[in-house]
Every structure is written in C-alpha cells, then in structure tokens.
Chain A
C-alpha cells in the first residue's frame, strides 16, 4: 500500500475565503481522486485528478468552486473557493495503485467554515 499525507489535517476558515488542501503520496500513482464527506454522511466523489491535464469533475461539482492541480504523479491539491458554511466537510484524497490494488485513502482534512 501507499502512505498518503494530507495537509492541513483540519482548519477553521472564514466565510468567503479559499483554502488549498495538499495530498502527497510516497510513490508514483496513476490515479488520484478527491472526495467530500459531509457531516454524518457517506463519501461523494468530487473529481479525478489527472496528471498533465484538467481534472474530471462529477455532476454537481465545478472547477470554479473546486480547482484541482496535479503537477506530478505523487502530488495533488484541491482548493475550496469562496467558502460558505455548507462547505464544512471532510475532504479526502485517495489513490489508485493500479492492477488489482484498490483505492487507499488519506486521513482527510476537516474543514469548518464560520
């Protein structure tokens, strides 16, 4: 398996500001994903972070609100823009190691917006 580090682990932000979350993997991976987990809810895929090209967003999520970067095979960032209290969630990064190895997750970033 891979070691996946997310930063920050938690933050409290003011309404209207933006926060960038980092995801670092200790090995090169083809696929990286970003999920949102609202309080008491399950995980919902935001987008697939593609290395060298734009991210692929799921229905209900747009690039202007959740811009994603994937500059190399070990790193990705997710920005939550113009935050409102409804954006208070856990944001999780996952990686697909390829072959028959399924996705593994980081510990998430717990975001609260006041």
Chain B
C-alpha cells in the first residue's frame, strides 16, 4: 500500500539542539497526525492537524499542516534524551478513517 515519505530517515543530534523532520505525499490528506514510538510500545499521539496551513504546538513540539495538503512538518525544540525514539507521520482522508503511515524518522540524542 501507499506510504508517506519521511525525511530524514534517521538523525543524531546533541542535547539542546532543535530538530526538524518532514513528511510528504503524492496524495492529499485532510488530517495529519504525528506519533512517537518507543521500543516495546505502541505509537503515542503527539499532535493532530486538521486544517491546511494550521500550526499547532504541544510543549516543545510544533507541527504544521502543509498548505498543499500533501505535506507536514514537525519541529522539536531544545531536544532532551527522552526525545529518542521513532517519529511517524500519518495521514487520513477523514477524521474517522484509516491511516496511512510514513516511513519513520529515528531520532537519537547524545549528551
């Protein structure tokens, strides 16, 4: 099935640095979601976006719904060691609809 392309695939950053990742699609989505998955756990929802151009924050995390509806961006400010994990974007054509997941961005933070 279709997958969304995420970049970068992985990144090593130092504690305190800001992080940016993005997610692109060839199709239009009406909802963009960002999840984080820690080892041995299921994905946990970070941010949900419902409107093109929308910019939403959750603590140190900020995400944007691209104006074309074909992309989304996630920024993490002042990274800390517990930010380590895999970040997935997911798109949906409706609020009660199945999700298409991105390929994932693996984040590793060094002290």
Is B truly associated with A? yes
| Interfacial residues, chain A to chain B (CB-CB below 8 A) | 4, 30-31, 33, 42-45, 48, 58-60, 92, 94, 96, 98-100, 102-108, 110
Is A48 within 8 A of B98, CB to CB? yes
Is A31 within 8 A of B96, CB to CB? yes
| Interfacial residues, chain B to chain A (CB-CB below 8 A) | 1, 3, 31, 33, 35, 40-45, 48, 50, 88, 92, 95-96, 98-104
Is A42 within 8 A of B101, CB to CB? yes
Q: How far is the CB of B96 from chain A (nearest CB, A)?
A: 5
Q: How far is the CA of A42 from the CA of B1 in the complex (A)?
A: 12
Task: List 5 other contacts, CB 8 Å, given A58-B98, A98-B96, A103-B45.
Answer: A42-B101, A44-B101, A102-B92, A103-B99, A105-B35
Contacts of B104 in A (CB 8 A): 42
Contacts of B100 in A (CB 8 A): 45
Contacts of A33 in B (CB 8 A): 98-99
